[in-house]
Structure 1
Amino acid sequence: MHTSRGSITQTLQERLAEYQQKGLLRQLRTADEAVDFCSNDYLGFARSAELKQAIQQATVQHKTMRTGATGSRLLAGQTALAHAVEQELATFYGTESALIFNSGYDANIGLLACLPRKGDTLLTDELIHASMIDGARLSYATRQRFRHNDLADLRNRLEEASRLSSGQVFVAVESVYSMDGDMAPLRELADLCDEYGAALLVDEAHATGVYGSANGKNGEGLVAALGLEDRVLARVHTFGKALGVHGAAVVGPAVLRNYLINFARPFIYTTALPPHSLLAIRCAHEQLRAGSSALQQLHQQLDYFRKQVAGKLPGSQWSTGQSPIQCLIIPGNDRARRVAAAAQAIGLDVRAILSPTVPAGQERLRLCIHAFNTTDEIDRLLSVLHRALAENDR
């Protein structure tokens, strides 16, 4: 018996209706005119006229440019430009090599799916990003989760892995967690990995451009800020957040790059980034290297925000993160939505993060502070949050 096309679409509609009844239906919407407290454009590079002009000039000067890569890197997509940009990235991030992927999602899936193999053990922090989770699901390694940033729990699982398996052990974390904004204890994690002979994998998506060596002046990430480059097997740096462009790279020893070229399916089987994207990646890093004042402005605005929260929102529940990702916990999907709507009504782009994306009772507003946010905008945000929270508690 054949299933009719109509019955399939009806089934899809019923599933969507069920999701909507639960208050979970996602929809796309724009907020182009609103004040940005939502995006990951921490340094304002995505709106930078200087960066836009640099990319345009680089495009004109690159006379042999094609509009597209025309194939995967292992076929027609390998170019002298791609090779040169990867060498520049390796130098910038203080490592032997870099391999560009089309996105951070692709990089994490490729890395975690192919690096730990059958007989190996993959230990992941319970709050890693969905892309790392999906990569781990594709791996044939034995996977275990450890409690978030819990070194004792990780030690127990490393101990167990050393007893039960003779394979390699990998530990996967984020340096700055995307939903809570808190940081991994990278020094202690590196110590544990060294003690048990495990390899540490770090997703630097929300630290790239925001933290780095020499007191964060260059934005190479939290691993570099702590001087741990040689103790981390692989770092994933994404360019669509603080750097305001697109793409990502896995950086590490040369043997890792060669391994990924041969085994990372999202690299092998996808069309490469076009030359324009490669030039944009180069220009964004050049702007970072030049010592953009945006990084200093970002941390100044973040300090101002945290001081104002302490004075204007006493008793409110915030995540413990020190990064530009600041989360106001508002238990309950409906309550979180109402507070977000109050901010949106006065022209502030604030979004609620609901369960099941976060655990029930941990619903929140995920607020991102940027270099371009003014103190007046921050004051307006905190004032509307104060009013909306008070109305919610009535």
Structure 2
Amino acid sequence: MTASIFFAHVDRVLSEIESEGLYKRERSISGPQGGRINTVSAVGTREVINLCANNYLGLANHPEIVAAAKTALDEFGFGMASVRFICGTQTLHRDLERMIAHYLSKDDAILFAACFDANGGVFDPLLGEEDAIISDSLNHASIIDGARLCKARRYRFANGDMNELEDRLKEADAAGARVKMIATDGVFSMDGYVANLVAICDLADRYSAVVMVDDCHATGHLGERGQGTPTLTGVGQRVDIVTGTLGKSLGGAMGGFVAASQSVIDLLRQRARPYLFSNSLAPAVAAGSVKAIEIAQKADDRRRVLALHAERFRAGLAKAGFELLPGQTPIIPVMLGDAKCAQKMAAALDERGVYVAGFFYPVVPKGRARIRTQMSAALTETDIDFAIDAFKDAGVTLGLI
């Protein structure tokens, strides 16, 4: 009887998600990730322009990265079948950690299976019930979950509101917090906003707080040499802890990291549960990521193409009459408001050969549904112009512009 009640509840929730237009359906692609991809459906396979991957530098199918991964398969095998501290650490893993640390000008770095795990594991080993986490309201779900797993008191400030951040810091002081950690995305993934790291670091200095930045949507393509938002905003080493991913600009495979001072990394190796209880990254992923970082550091040409694509696409859609969120990143959200409208727009664009995804609650707040487009250096100017025309045609057809 209990089981039947449970499954009836599951079916009811799924029906509610469907009726509200919030049901997410996965689509299949054949072949590698790129500016153009092959999608698979009941009617067959066709090529489309891809505007919804995190493949900012276009490295996801770079031949040198693929070759490095293949070589690692021969030299180091397919998988580690172990966690790091038992028998799962190869020279490849330490090479990659040292490379990340050097790239981001930190003492050391520690690898995780994903940045979700990095953010999930970074707070609890470092903070206790005497401490406080002050978090931006638009931070990624992984930061929210990581903070919840920690015994530290939690405070939240409205996105980018420095006055409210200061109020929360004062509250934490008044409550007797031993350590205060300000946690923020470097780039807010659904909006494309860059965090005001100058003001955040100034407040951190004033209130003796530690600054942690999740730079998943910046490392590799923003700032000098792609070093991310601390470099982009000029705060540099005033950011104490950087978390990031290997699954976006840096090759696009998988894996996350924390880069920080030696003592912070040493403590995470001892106490971070997602690190201690998860398999090591596969050797091919580690080797490919090393090569990806080598390429990214020198990829000014790709960063320049990426910036030009973002400028061209943003100007084209704004001229057509779409509502866009302002920004300086390759993330360009096209605001539609209604979840069902976002899904209809995504379907209409798919019919016109442009691959996008509609985003809606609970990924974004209710009433703030959108098509989040993301530029890539793998695209061409012809691709960008084709996508602009497709948006115009679909927008007119659906009565959105």
Give the Cα–Cα distance (whole angstroms) in 2 for the partners of residues 84 and 109 of structure 1: 24
Instruction: Say which SS state the counterpart of residue 100 (structure 1) adopts.
Output: strand
Counterparts of 1:343-358 in structure 2, within 5 Å, are 343-358=349-364
Give the Cα–Cα distance (whole angstroms) in 2 for the partners of residues 353 and 189 of structure 1: 28
Name the residue aligned to 1:258.
266
Give the Cα–Cα distance (whole angstroms) in 2 for the partners of residues 371 and 274 of structure 1: 27
Tell me if the contact between 2:230 and 2:237 (Cα under 8 Å) persists in the aligned partners.
no
Give the Cα–Cα distance (whole angstroms) in 1 for the partners of residues 28 and 103 of structure 2: 35
The structure 1 residue matched to 2:241, chosen from 234, 254, 278, is: 234
Name the residue aligned to 1:25.
23
After TM superposition, give the deviation of residue 346 of structure 1 in Å: 1.1
* Greater strand share, structure number: 2
Q: Which runs of 5+ in 1 are unaligned?
A: none
After TM superposition, give the deviation of residue 292 of structure 1 in Å: 5.9
Mean Cα deviation higher: 88-97 or 250-259: 88-97
Name the residue aligned to 1:39.
53
Tell me if the contact between 1:107 and 1:248 (Cα under 8 Å) persists in the aligned partners.
yes
After TM superposition, give the deviation of residue 133 of structure 1 in Å: 0.8
The structure 2 residue matched to 1:67, chosen from 69, 72, 78, is: 78
After TM superposition, give the deviation of residue 139 of structure 1 in Å: 1.1
Instruction: Say which SS state the counterpart of residue 219 (structure 2) adopts.
Output: coil
Mean Cα deviation higher: 365-374 or 83-92: 83-92
Name the residue aligned to 1:54.
68
Give the Cα–Cα distance (whole angstroms) in 2 for the partners of residues 326 and 341 of structure 1: 18
Deviations 1:123-175 (CA, angstroms, capped at 9, x unpaired): 10000011111111111111111000111110111112112223211110011
RMSD: 1.8
Name the residue aligned to 1:9.
7
Instruction: Say which SS state the counterpart of residue 45 (structure 1) adopts.
Output: coil
Name the residue aligned to 2:222.
211
After TM superposition, give the deviation of residue 83 of structure 1 in Å: 1.9
Tell me if the contact between 1:112 and 1:135 (Cα under 8 Å) persists in the aligned partners.
yes
Tell me if the contact between 1:95 and 1:251 (Cα under 8 Å) persists in the aligned partners.
yes
Distance of aligned partners of 1:24 and 1:79 in 2 relative to their CA distance in 1, 3 Å threshold: same
Tell me if the contact between 2:210 and 2:240 (Cα under 8 Å) persists in the aligned partners.
yes
Name the residue aligned to 1:294.
302
Amino acid in the other structure paired with 1:28: E
Tell me if the contact between 2:317 and 2:391 (Cα under 8 Å) persists in the aligned partners.
no
1:320 corresponds to 2:326: yes
After TM superposition, give the deviation of residue 309 of structure 1 in Å: 2.8
After TM superposition, give the deviation of residue 227 of structure 1 in Å: 4.1
1:268 corresponds to 2:276: yes
Instruction: Say which SS state the counterpart of residue 27 (structure 1) adopts.
Output: coil
TM-score, normalised by the number of residues in structure 1: 0.92
1:109 corresponds to 2:115: no
Name the residue aligned to 1:338.
344
How many residues are paired up? 383
After TM superposition, give the deviation of residue 58 of structure 1 in Å: 4.8
1:123 corresponds to 2:134: yes
Give the Cα–Cα distance (whole angstroms) in 2 for the partners of residues 159 and 8 of structure 1: 45
The structure 1 residue matched to 2:396, chosen from 378, 390, 393, is: 390
